[in-house]
A and B are shown apart, each in its own frame.
Chain A
Amino acid sequence: MELICPAGTPSAFREAVDAGADAVYCGFRDETNARNFPGLNFSRQELRESIGYARKKNVQTFVALNTFMRAGDETLWYRAADDAAAMGVDALILADFGLMAYVAEKYPEQRLHVSVQASASNRDAIQFLIDAFGAKRVVLPRVLTVQDIARLTRQINCEVEVFAFGGLCVMAEGRCSLSSYATGKSPNMNGVCSPASHVKYRQDGKTLVSELGEYTINRFAPNEASGYPTLCKGRFEIGDTHGYAFEDPVSLDVVDHIDALKDAGVAALKIEGRQRGKAYVAEVVSSLKRALAAQPAERSALVSRLRTMSEGQRTTSGAYEKRWR
């Protein structure tokens, strides 16, 4: 299986290449991609240089243009596709049918990958993307079990990539407006979720309160570790109970399922984390690369350090196991 690695900066990109990535994915410094954070992403020149660096080491570069085009400003997304195609990127990762149609028509030779944000979760959906836009690979939404994936890969003539490590969306990706409901900014429209610009922390007596927009996302007692107020990882009140209503502050780790995913016909494993620093990227990529080559019994030890670097310092295999539902 290929290892697809994130890069939010040119230096993280080089670290990922050096650490053994088969492909590195990244985005332009604007709202055309779903990690549109301050200080992150690539200028045209930086991407050109990065592609050159990767190519020398026989590593592929994928460019994510995985937000939805804003009505009237489609040109921003078209130019990004034009420029990436002209630079010779190995694949474009797209979510919006309108942009897929543009790329399929204008650059029929360009490899088109379907972003997780497109939410293609079944064989007819994937067949539609193959027939309509010539999709070569689909990144599956984090809503399927390993068994579902195995069934799917047998039914379709398209490579399948799945998320293996990093941040975990609890909701079907690309179909979630929770962030914009609270802040006005969303993954689909602005390339951000629970943006830092709308985060506040305040002290209420001895309790630390984290807020997103006007809403309290969590309250931490003095002896509790606090965390970033990602909306779907907050604590809420339902009836007379309270707790993590959607998901605990955990991140995804499917190292224990590597063989099952391989047997299921998965072509590539994706690491989330374009917003993470270069040291993190280097560590995660090299550890997972070693884990992929190792015997199953050795894997846990190889990645145990990574788990301490994860969000909430705890991990889950998420929807890949049926009991998560």
Chain B
Amino acid sequence: MTALKPALSLGPVYYLWDGPKWRDFYFRIADEAPVEHVILGETVCSKRQHFTEPHISEVVERLEAAGKTVTLSTLAMVTLERESRHVRDLIRDSVHAIEANDLAALGLIKGRAHSIGPLVNVYSAATARVLAARGADNICLPPELPMSSIGNILQSMPGFSFEIFAFGRMPLAISARCAHARSKGLTKDNCQFICGEEPDGLPLRTLDRQSFLVLNGVQTMSNTCVVLLDELSALAAAGIARVRLSPQDCDMVAVARLYHAVLDGSMDGEEAIARLAEVYPGAVFSNGFYHQREGAAWVARGRDAALGHS
């Protein structure tokens, strides 16, 4: 096996973790995880920002001391004046790279090098070019894209840095309403940060008890965890520059090591998938979007079988 080229990146923690847990997670990433790029900062709900803010500078320092590049993530949805101010201040004052996740950030950051997060709708090279012309130098493509689209985009913009969402529950939707708070008899405006009770999301099942989605505050995520391991060689061959791991409440250092091993050719994709099931026990894997199927589907190598799906 030959070594593949893409770098590993770690996306922002989408869940509400308390400050010390969040800090210690990144300290361990800094010390042990074979990732080159770390994107961090509250992305889902502005109400949570005070949990992590006291720890950001020490986390960034530790990550940079370990040789990681650090990028700060902007909010996925900006509706309040306070949120607008936050995005503006972040973009104006930050000495770090920024990952834009909504149109406000895209507008404000024009002319400066920046990344585009997976929550911005980039479905074609035509759209990617518009963003690149405004200063984007890395685009993490939306999880919904099939390989046919990914391949076409990469081919149309050779040399540009594209990133793929390759591990983690997929962010599927965001709302003004907090379904997480509502499920516990609360509202968004008086939520008591109840989403912090589920550091890996609150499972939502169908009335026939099928696992389906998880709630994460105002965000709705897939119950299944995207696993693009067997697909890495095709993605690398197509020219993908970065492979993103989205933090779950499991041993992310071990996850990163498995992806790293597949990328450097020291482990087979199939073996890595088997080991991943031990690292993130109970997780159901999916790769349906990549294979142009429903996102929840799992397409195993060489056969169209359901693995781990009931």
Contact = CB atoms under 8 A, between A and B. Distances in A.
A182 B293 CA distance: 9
B293 A184 contact: yes
Interface string B155-168: 01000000000000
Contact of B207 (A180, A216, A322): A216
B121 A96 contact: yes
A151 B176 contact: no
Given A71-B148, A183-B294, A189 B103 contact: no
Contacts of A129: 103, 107
Contacts, number: 227
Interface string B119-141: 10101111111110010000000
A123 B134 CA distance: 19
Interface in A233-256: 234-239, 241-242, 245-247
Interface residues of A, number: 74
Interface string A96-135: 1111111000000000000000111111111111011000
B178 A96 contact: no
Given A69-B127, A74-B126, A128-B104, A214 B177 contact: no
Interface stretch (A44-52, A83-91, A140-148): A140-148
B106 A128 contact: yes
Contact of A119 (B102, B145, B222): B102
Interface stretch (B20-28, B77-85, B238-246): B77-85
Interface residues of B, number: 75
Contacts of B110: 128
A292 interface: no
A151 to B, nearest CB: 7
A122 B149 contact: no
B124 A71 contact: yes
A300 to B, nearest CB: 25
A193 to B, nearest CB: 11
A8 interface: no
Interface string B178-217: 1100110001110000000000001111111110110100
A122 B176 CA distance: 13
B99 interface: no
A178 B206 CA distance: 14
A245 B179 contact: yes
A120 B187 contact: no
Nearest to A122: B78
Contact of A181 (B76, B77, B127, B294): B294
B289 interface: yes
19 contacts: A71-B148, A98-B127, A119-B103, A121-B102, A122-B84, A125-B78, A126-B103, A128-B104, A143-B77, A172-B175, A177-B143, A184-B292, A213-B294, A215-B212, A219-B208, A237-B206, A238-B202, A238-B204, A325-B177
Interface of A: 68-72, 74, 95-102, 118-129, 131-132, 142-144, 148, 151, 170-172, 174-178, 180-184, 186, 188-189, 209, 213-219, 232, 234-239, 241-242, 245-247, 319, 322-325
